[in-house]
A and B are shown apart, each in its own frame.
Chain A
Amino acid sequence: GQNIDQPTEMTATEGAIVQINCTYQTSGFNGLFWYQQHAGEAPTFLSYNVLDGLEEKGRFSSFLSRSKGYSYLLLKELQMKDSASYLCAVSDSNYQLIWGAGTKLIIKP
């Protein structure tokens, strides 16, 4: 079956750095997405990786290793507004997104 694993919850301190991991096993691979979802709101797009390596976008970076079925989202200089759930999703061989359950990130002052 298809499976996306990510930690259920993480806690970090304002101003620090946090890394959220995602491992996947899917039938085919056409890219990996990270979305941010604040409580009670819709998911919003953060990043897309289809090739191995690191993609940097401001305070957020996303890394992909296709051979290891692994990705991480790196958040730097954490702000209170970064408290949210972070969703990992993989586009499978049919170009449908398979979603992880999400990682709830709690930022403490």
Chain B
Amino acid sequence: IAGITQAPTSQILAAGRRMTLRCTQDMRHNAMYWYRQDLGLGLRLIHYSNTAGTTGKGEVPDGYSVSRANTDDFPLTLASAVPSQTSVYFCASSESAGEKGTDTQYFGPGTRLTVL
């Protein structure tokens, strides 16, 4: 059982370049999330998706976009990377979200991104 996988594990990127972080889950969870984690700060929600075909903005969505074409995949794209997007990015999933209650979120291993 893989759970949630993320790729790449780490990446160094030049400012201005486009980058897509990949996230795949095999638990058939409806809800998926992208967070960034910075030293001294809590996890901050970038975007989320409550079900395939829908997405929503979190606390810090600027500079990022997502898509949810199917249940399993939830890629995060940085259209034009800036140094302030240097962070560790975690993808997470939960069985459901919102109206169905509060479900435990399970996290992927993370992507360490450095923008120079």
Contacts and interface: CB of A to CB of B under 8 A. Distances in A.
B106 to A, nearest CB: 7
A101 B56 CA distance: 23
Interface residues of A, number: 23
Nearest to B110: A42
B102 A45 contact: no
Contacts of B102: 30-31, 48, 50, 91, 95
Contacts of B90: 42-43
Nearest to B31: A95
Given A42-B90, A42-B108, A45-B106, A95 B43 contact: no
Contacts of A107: none
B105 A95 contact: no
Interface in B40-96: 40-45, 48, 58, 90
A13 B41 CA distance: 26
Nearest to B39: A101
Given A94-B98, A95-B97, A95-B98, A45 B104 contact: yes
Contact of B107 (A4, A30, A42, A95): A42
A72 interface: no
A23 to B, nearest CB: 14
B36 to A, nearest CB: 11
Interface of B: 40-45, 48, 58, 90, 97-99, 101-102, 104-110
Interface of A: 4, 30-31, 33, 41-45, 48, 50, 87, 89, 91, 94-102
14 contacts: A30-B102, A41-B110, A42-B109, A43-B90, A43-B107, A45-B104, A91-B102, A95-B98, A96-B58, A97-B43, A97-B45, A98-B42, A99-B42, A102-B42
